[in-house]
A and B are shown apart, each in its own frame.
Chain A
Amino acid sequence: MAHSEHADHAEHDHHGPAHGFIQRWVMATNHKDIGTMYLVFAGLMFLIGGAMALVIRAELWTPGLQFVDPQFFNSMTTMHALVMIFGGMMPAWTGLANWMIPMQVGAPDMALPRLNNFSFWILPFAFLMLLATLFVPGGAPAGGWTIYPPLVVQGGANFPMSMFAIHMMGISSILGAINVIVTIMNMRAPGMTLLRMPMFTWTWLITAYLLILVMPVLAGAVTMVITDHYFGTTFFSAAGGGDPVLYQHIFWFFGHPEVYILILPAFGVVSEIIPTFSRKPLFGYESMVYASASIGFLSFIVWAHHMFTVGMPLAGQMFFMLTTMMIAVPTGVKVFNWSTTMWKGSLTFEPPMLFAIAFLFLFTIGGFSGLMLAITPADFQYHDSYFVVAHFHYVLVPGALFAIIAAVYYWLPKWSGHMYNQTLAKWHFWLSAVFVNVLFFPQHFLGLAGMPRRIPDYATQFADWNAVSSIGAFGFGFAQLLFVWLIISCVRGGEKASDHVWEDTHGLEWELSSPAPYHSWTTPPSDAVILRGTTGH
């Protein structure tokens, strides 16, 4: 250990991080520095978006209008979604990709480091502009994150700002995705064949392809809304021969692959963590790869299930219902493989494993409610109700967000070189896992009983479950402060982590020292090292 520390120091002098804030962070080209910035940015956005969620739940705690007026309430639902999706989830995944992909494929860095810097630094400006709409006359956008015309076109001063911000976020993710694909396709160590790649890298590769295919479609939709507003085009204005329903088709052609963009990397993370703590190779590695690719493909042909109620030919309803249900097949393969990986394994329950198991159970609940929503005739009842809110929060919070937390708990010792306080992390887990269900499970009941989404006030019959849900929200929200504190204290110090960190890790990132050296694989790993890493499958 002493020896490797000394070696790190020697390297530090020659190739370590640049000195000075501007040189190191503003002009960053190192994948770890940029990954860190992405993750810190995402963490900040999670806190801001979470505070907005608490405003929503505070208002909904009891019937009637208590704290905010309806206009501001609508701003909160809209901004909460935009901040969480584009500011929290997507940058968090890009940050993890930046940190892990070069380490996992045996590359020294990302393929296009300056592009990498650019795609990160767009984000703070985009979100500064989006959040600034809270202070302009008329307030922040309040027409829903799906920015449906004609409502969105009536927005005040927030309209151009939020539209431009969305364009910038889109450019950032497209550039990030290009970087990921180029890195994976060109920078793999010799011997790291495609079917030896770790699952996280695989799912990110598919995610990156989805990103460059659908983010530009969102940009197109936003551009059309802008030209409708300012240049007199009538893409979505019925008075001029357009059709607002067309907007929904274009938006959801982006929107559905987008939800897989948020969840596919989560599948990758869970596929890495469950084998480690089950001390068994991942069951069905190749079927995992093909299942991810099928989900990616199917995501392009199911979009209209978000809009069954707009009026659609029967054949269209049947098509979108059946293709949607078909997604349950590859997803089922994945859930089966994770369960089978744990079957007869020698399981231990460290914090990352706890979050991964919770993901497995709770994401599956979200998947099942998704299947209910896929049934066209049933969807007419569930549409725009709290059942939909419960569904997508189950796949996004105990789904994608738990996977992000699991990934941080799994790799943080590798990044910082220190082990965090596992007892506190388990407290964080149990508080999160209990409160997230208190928060979202009652929303299923509210939705089935007929409570619509996006309303600041509701009939008194919905009072009890809303109060329960709000208690869950505050419990869950404040439990996350524990996570923030754990990360900060782990980065600042603590018990030294070994190179392999956990007992049975496989993969190239664990062959590097902890903390990982500033440049990952300056000489490509040998075949033997790669094979040792891939005995996991």
Chain B
Amino acid sequence: MKPIHRMAVNLGLVAVGAFGFGFALVPLYNVLCAVTGYGDARALRQISTAQPTQEDETRLVTVEFLAQLPTVGHWEFRPVVRSMQVVPGRLYSAEFIAHNLMDRGATGQAIPNIAPSKVTAFFHKTECFCFTPQHFEAGEQRQMPVRFFVDPALPKYVDRITLSYTFYDTQVTS
């Protein structure tokens, strides 16, 4: 092999090695997490698949629902109830109503926002219409559920949580 070609092949092998290095970062990262306690995979899994456990009946938290639209006129969007008193740790369900005011089918997606933002980690949605785009036929109206619970570990000074959705018209088809 000519030296030029040998060098090209060697550099190609370096690139293949670098590709492998990307994958080697996975176990390396796990070791680092085990040592430092950051990015603990088990804790992450618990958060992402959180289930209500211990109820804390000694307190009540007010959850307020807000519904917003970025543009006026294409949709109607509102919560069925304005607010709820909830027991931390208990599973609740709330409904939002969306109504397609256009004379054609359309798909929208709700983007949630929780205030105060520090509470986000303590507010778990187990099921939500905001997880997927929602398709509506022309003029269709329907109720969409969100199931949630408030983590009993919620700091004591918080007595009010606001869950707000903005309903965006999207072209995403699901």
Measured CB to CB, the residues of A under 8 A from B are 65, 69-72, 111-112, 115, 137-139, 156, 174, 177-179, 181-182, 185-187, 212-221, 224, 235, 238-243, 245-246, 249-250, 253-254, 311-313, 316, 457
Whether A239 and B172, one on each chain, are in contact in the complex, defined by CB atoms closer than 8 angstroms, is no
Majority-rule SS of A interface residues: helix
Note all chain A residues with C-beta closer than 8 A to B23: 220, 224
Whether B45 and A238, one on each chain, are in contact in the complex, defined by CB atoms closer than 8 angstroms, is yes
Q: List 8 A-B contacts (CB under 8 A).
A: A69-B170, A186-B4, A219-B22, A239-B48, A241-B45, A243-B29, A311-B39, A457-B70
Whether A138 and B173, one on each chain, are in contact in the complex, defined by CB atoms closer than 8 angstroms, is yes
Note all chain B residues with C-beta closer than 8 A to A178: 8, 11-12, 15
Whether A250 and B15, one on each chain, are in contact in the complex, defined by CB atoms closer than 8 angstroms, is no
| Shortest distance between the CB of A65 and any CB in chain B (Å) | 6
Whether A70 and B70, one on each chain, are in contact in the complex, defined by CB atoms closer than 8 angstroms, is yes
Note all chain A residues with C-beta closer than 8 A to B39: 243, 245-246, 311
Measured CB to CB, the residues of B under 8 A from A are 3-4, 7-8, 11-12, 14-23, 25-26, 29, 33, 36, 38-39, 41, 44-45, 47-49, 70-71, 168-174
Note all chain B residues with C-beta closer than 8 A to A214: 18
Contact of B171 among A137, A242, A246, A312 (CB under 8 A): A137
Note all chain A residues with C-beta closer than 8 A to B38: 311-313
| Shortest distance between the CB of A187 and any CB in chain B (Å) | 8
| Shortest distance between the CB of B173 and any CB in chain A (Å) | 5
Contact of A216 among B8, B16, B45 (CB under 8 A): B16
Note all chain A residues with C-beta closer than 8 A to B33: 243
| Shortest distance between the CB of B122 and any CB in chain A (Å) | 17
Contact of A213 among B14, B168, B169 (CB under 8 A): B14
Whether A219 and B19, one on each chain, are in contact in the complex, defined by CB atoms closer than 8 angstroms, is yes
Whether A243 and B41, one on each chain, are in contact in the complex, defined by CB atoms closer than 8 angstroms, is yes
Note all chain B residues with C-beta closer than 8 A to A246: 25-26, 29, 39
**Do A242 and B41 contact each other (CB < 8 Å), given the known contacts A70-B70, A178-B15?**
yes
Question: How many Å lie between the Cα of A313 and that of B33 in the bound state?
Answer: 10
Question: How many Å lie between the Cα of A177 and that of B11 in the bound state?
Answer: 9
Whether B172 and A138, one on each chain, are in contact in the complex, defined by CB atoms closer than 8 angstroms, is yes
**Do A238 and B48 contact each other (CB < 8 Å), given the known contacts A71-B172, A312-B38?**
yes
Other A-B contacts than A220-B22, A311-B38, 13 sampled, CB-CB below 8 A, are: A65-B71, A69-B168, A137-B171, A156-B173, A174-B15, A178-B15, A179-B8, A182-B11, A186-B7, A212-B11, A212-B18, A245-B39, A311-B39
Whether A250 and B25, one on each chain, are in contact in the complex, defined by CB atoms closer than 8 angstroms, is yes
| Shortest distance between the CB of A435 and any CB in chain B (Å) | 31
Note all chain B residues with C-beta closer than 8 A to A218: 22
Question: How many Å lie between the Cα of A311 and that of B33 in the bound state?
Answer: 11
Whether A71 and B22, one on each chain, are in contact in the complex, defined by CB atoms closer than 8 angstroms, is no
**Do A216 and B18 contact each other (CB < 8 Å), given the known contacts A139-B172, A241-B45, A313-B36?**
yes
Question: How many Å lie between the Cα of A181 and that of B7 in the bound state?
Answer: 9
Contact of B7 among A70, A182, A312 (CB under 8 A): A182
Whether A182 and B172, one on each chain, are in contact in the complex, defined by CB atoms closer than 8 angstroms, is no
Whether B25 and A182, one on each chain, are in contact in the complex, defined by CB atoms closer than 8 angstroms, is no
Nearest CB to that of A237 among chain B residues? B48
Q: Which of B18, B20, B70 has the largest number of chain A CB atoms within 10 A?
A: B18
Whether A213 and B171, one on each chain, are in contact in the complex, defined by CB atoms closer than 8 angstroms, is no
Contact of A112 among B8, B22, B170, B172 (CB under 8 A): B8
Note all chain A residues with C-beta closer than 8 A to B70: 65, 70, 457
Whether A156 and B172, one on each chain, are in contact in the complex, defined by CB atoms closer than 8 angstroms, is yes
Note all chain A residues with C-beta closer than 8 A to B3: 186
| Shortest distance between the CB of A346 and any CB in chain B (Å) | 43
Q: Which of A186, A214, A220 has the largest number of chain B CB atoms within 10 A?
A: A220
| Shortest distance between the CB of A225 and any CB in chain B (Å) | 12
| Shortest distance between the CB of A337 and any CB in chain B (Å) | 30
Whether A217 and B8, one on each chain, are in contact in the complex, defined by CB atoms closer than 8 angstroms, is no
Whether A212 and B15, one on each chain, are in contact in the complex, defined by CB atoms closer than 8 angstroms, is yes
Note all chain A residues with C-beta closer than 8 A to B15: 174, 178, 212, 215-216
Nearest CB to that of B18 among chain A residues? A216
Closest 4 CB pairs of A and B: A220-B22, A216-B19, A216-B18, A238-B48
Note all chain B residues with C-beta closer than 8 A to A139: 171-172
Note all chain B residues with C-beta closer than 8 A to A313: 36, 38
Question: How many Å lie between the Cα of A217 and that of B23 in the bound state?
Answer: 8
Question: How many Å lie between the Cα of A218 and that of B25 in the bound state?
Answer: 12
Question: How many Å lie between the Cα of A250 and that of B170 in the bound state?
Answer: 31
Contact of B44 among A137, A212, A238 (CB under 8 A): A238
Note all chain A residues with C-beta closer than 8 A to B14: 212-213
Note all chain A residues with C-beta closer than 8 A to B20: 220
Question: How many Å lie between the Cα of A238 and that of B47 in the bound state?
Answer: 9
Contact of A182 among B4, B17, B171 (CB under 8 A): B4
**Do A250 and B22 contact each other (CB < 8 Å), given the known contacts A111-B4, A182-B4, A185-B7?**
yes
Question: How many Å lie between the Cα of A111 and that of B172 in the bound state?
Answer: 47
Contact of A115 among B8, B48, B169 (CB under 8 A): B8
**Do A112 and B18 contact each other (CB < 8 Å), given the known contacts A249-B25, A311-B38?**
no
Note all chain A residues with C-beta closer than 8 A to B41: 238, 241-243
Question: How many Å lie between the Cα of A138 and that of B170 in the bound state?
Answer: 8
Note all chain A residues with C-beta closer than 8 A to B11: 177-178, 181-182, 212
Note all chain A residues with C-beta closer than 8 A to B7: 181-182, 185-186
Question: How many Å lie between the Cα of A133 and that of B47 in the bound state?
Answer: 34
Nearest CB to that of B71 among chain A residues? A65
| Shortest distance between the CB of A257 and any CB in chain B (Å) | 11
